[in-house]
Amino acid sequence: MKETISPMTVGEAGMSGSGGPMIGLGERLLRRLIKSPKFKSSLNILLRGIDPEHAPGLVRAFMWEDVETFMGTASAVPKLVNFAIRAVEEVAAQLNAFPPEILLAFLNRLAGEVDFQALERAAREAKLLLEKLGPVVESLRERAADAVAIGSGGGKDAQ
């Protein structure tokens, strides 16, 4: 079972290791910020102000105002995907520490706030995009299936 609380303090997260001073920078910064009442207040204001209706306009502006900047930023997508995967993995590991009743109540409340119609539209658009990217998608499907099979104990490496 994964540890539920990191034993490393901000000072211990240090700058050692082969990656130099950037290793753990985000974690160290977040550990400091999360202790600040001003940061927490600002974060709450930001989170309350998220309006999904404005997301399409934001995306169009980002993509088409300067295509070169968008493409340069989009080149970070594999890193972002890998980051998101590891973040979801850790969230799942941490949530496994909660009693099932509390976890179920929490997730039911969150699911009640999800716009499933928008999720369905996003899935349709993603499907169209994936169909256009056929050969690349097939390779990704195989790699993802292998990863899922390994994670569920049914993969090649699990034997």
For 28-39, how does the pLDDT look when each residue is reduced to its tens digit (9 = 90+)? 888 999 899 999
For 45-102, how does the pLDDT look when each residue is reduced to its tens digit (9 = 90+)? 988 888 989 989 988 998 999 999 999 988 998 898 899 899 999 999 999 999 999 9
Domain boundaries, the chain: 1-50, 55-114, 115-159
pTM, two decimal places: 0.47
Q: Per residue, what are the HEC states of the chain?
A: CCCCCCCCCHHHHCCCCCCHHHCCHHHHHHHHHCCCHHHHHHHHHHHHCCCHHHHHHHHHHHHHCCHHHHHHHHCCHHHHHHHHHHHHHHHHHHHCCCCHHHHHHHHHHHHCCCCHHHHHHHHHHHHHHHHHCHHHHHHHHHHHHHHHHHHCCCCHHHC
Question: Quick one: pLDDT at residue 10?
Answer: 36
* Averaged confidence pLDDT in the chain: 81
Q: By mean pLDDT, which of 12-21, 99-108, 149-158 is the weakest? A: 12-21
Of residues 103 and 12, which shows the higher confidence score? 103
